[in-house]
A and B are shown apart, each in its own frame.
Chain A
Amino acid sequence: MGDLKTDVLIERCRQGSEAAFSELIQIYQNRVYTICFQLTGNSEDAKDLAQETFIRLYGALPGFRGQSAFTTWLYRIIHNLWANELRKRKNKQTISLNAPIHTEEGEIDRTPADEKSNPEQLIEAGEERKLIWTAIDTLNQEQRTVLVLRELHGYSYEEIARGLGWSPGTVKSRLNRARLHLKEQLLKLGVKPDKESQKDADIRKKVKQL
């Protein structure tokens, strides 16, 4: 499966070519990093996860036999690593309420929504996305992960359950909690349903093409 260029590069990587692997990283690094960022929610973790993904990828390439698309396979490595990391962090995680939130556009203060002087005023071009980020960042990491995989990447409950090693029931309950929580946060921040927004399916298609 996969495109010819990738296939050729994979074959050369298997033979131990650094140049080929370098090129493979070049092709996929933005895609991988984007997904890592979506899952982790901060640039530091995203970078760690992306790096580990490529390192793991290199070691696993000899086992890749093209039964699924290369990207599907690559994403599974990301999910697998991230699920392991989540498991490790469980019960250990502490979030500072004042720690700034990292987004690809810089840092956002984690100011509680109630303290924003007038959220409506902030909703101008570009500002709404920041508010959505702020809301998403109030989710815990499991909720965030499941929400990203379902809403953004369109995976089924079953696929998510397999990918993260959770039970389908856990996927469902975390997803629902994430949705309810996010809805409340969004409304609190003054983000309202946008009637003119693109159809979700179109957006997701765009996201999937990334």
Chain B
Amino acid sequence: MKCGYSYDELTAYFDGELPREEQSKLRQHLGCCGECASALEELRFVRSAVLSAWQAEIQAPEDLRSNVLGRLREEGAFRESLPVKTPVATGKGWKGFKGWGAAAAASALLVAGASWAWLAGNVDNAPLNTALIENKPAITEHIPPDKEVKEVTEKEPDGTAGGSATDNQPGDKPGIKNQGTAVTSPEKPGTPRQTDNAPQQTATGAIALKDYTGKAFLSVDKKSYSGYFQLTDNWRNYDSLDQKIKLTAAGYNAALAGSFKDSGGVVTINVPTASYNALYEDLKGLLSAGGIVKGSDTTVESIESQYKVVQTELEKVREEYEASAGDMEKQNQLANRQNSLIDQMEDLEQRARISTIAIKL
């Protein structure tokens, strides 16, 4: 503007983002500056147009609800399910997960349980009894082999708790107790179940675990804790799977202290699903540090083989890329391919870490 005000200042004024004093100064200026006044008019025009484009609520597609419920049901997310009359349609995956969604559906390896499994002796509100409801779609649950739950485990002799992640075979429901009629469960008939041979590990109070990508994702000892964190109260960190935050029992990391306090002292950690059972055993060690541990296994998908295929492919493409030095066009193509493979790997990693463990220290 000739008057010296910038377009940026004008838009900030229009959006009410200027400090109060400047806001009123500019307001006065508008009375005597035609250029600014007409620029402001244009901003109003755009806003009015955007606002008038959407004044009504749009009807959600009819199958939205059934798709969502179907997917969650398939993942065994509900403890009390609605009666199922017809096979549940699987919701279409998010575009970004297209490849994965198809593969997952094809392999039918979705195994799940969203029930809170209390790993500690504290069984207040523990939903164990709900697991006994009959004729419900697959309810899966981690049952700690504690005294308190003997009654439950005896009724389902084929179910078991614990087990090690390394024992998992594709199609297994590792360490997950499957109860009720598997109406919507994608589990294949005749899937081998684990027997009750959970390794009895001595609680040492120190834990260090690595996921299948080789990254250490969790280590706990009596004094300190570090791992991937998912603070459920801090939505911005909702997906920060790779964020490593160190937390000491003596004084929580300052950056987290607020959220941690707000969350009632409960920290939720993403757990690579493949390691859930190993973690289940290991976390018992945390009890000796005075912690209460509860876990929620929301989805278990056997993605390890998928991951390896993509990883191998990526290595190949990288080699090819190196080999085709000088050929710009080919290298561009290969670079795109690499990006897409990396995206795939990231998707898979994300899917693999759906399980969560909540720790109350």
- On A, residues with C-beta under 8 Å from B are 15-19, 21-22, 25-26, 29-34, 37-38, 43, 45, 47-52, 54-55, 58-60, 62-65, 67, 73, 76-77, 80, 84-85, 88, 91, 104, 128-129, 132-133, 135-136, 147-148, 150-152, 156-157, 162, 165, 172, 175-176, 179, 182-183, 186, 191, 193-194, 197, 200, 203-204, 206-207, 210
Tell whether A186 pairs with B72 under 8 Å between CB atoms, given A16-B130, A62-B296, A129-B53: no
Tell me how many residue pairs across A and B have CB atoms closer than 8 Å: 191
Instruction: Determine the chain A residues whose CB is within 8 A of the CB of B49 once the complex forms.
Output: 132, 135, 182, 186, 191
Q: A34-B57, A84-B239, A151-B50 are in contact. Are A16 and B43 (CB under 8 A)?
A: no
Say whether A129 contacts B45, CB under 8 Å.
no
Beyond A21-B69, A88-B343, is A186–B95 a contact (Cβ under 8 Å)? no
Assign chain B's interface to a size class.
Answer: 35 or more
Contact assessment for B80 and A18 in the assembled complex, using a CB-CB cutoff below 8 Å: yes
Q: How far is the CA of A148 from the CA of B51 in the complex (A)?
A: 9
Tell whether, in the assembled complex, residue B64 and residue A47 are in contact, meaning their CB atoms are under 8 Å apart: yes
The 6 closest A-B pairs by CB, nearest first: A63-B232, A16-B79, A33-B60, A18-B78, A29-B60, A203-B51
Besides A21-B78, A59-B354, 10 more A-B contacts (Cβ < 8 Å) are A18-B73, A34-B54, A48-B93, A60-B238, A65-B262, A80-B236, A84-B239, A128-B52, A151-B47, A207-B51
- Contact A85 to B94, CB < 8 A, known contacts A33-B61, A77-B235, A179-B11: yes
Contacts of A48 in B (CB 8 A): 92-95
B77 at the interface (CB under 8 A from A): yes
Task: Determine whether the beta carbon of B51 is less than 8 Å from that of A22.
Answer: no
**Residue in contact with A204 in the complex, picked from B51, B298, B356, CB distance below 8 Å:** B51
B127 touches A16 (CB 8 A): yes
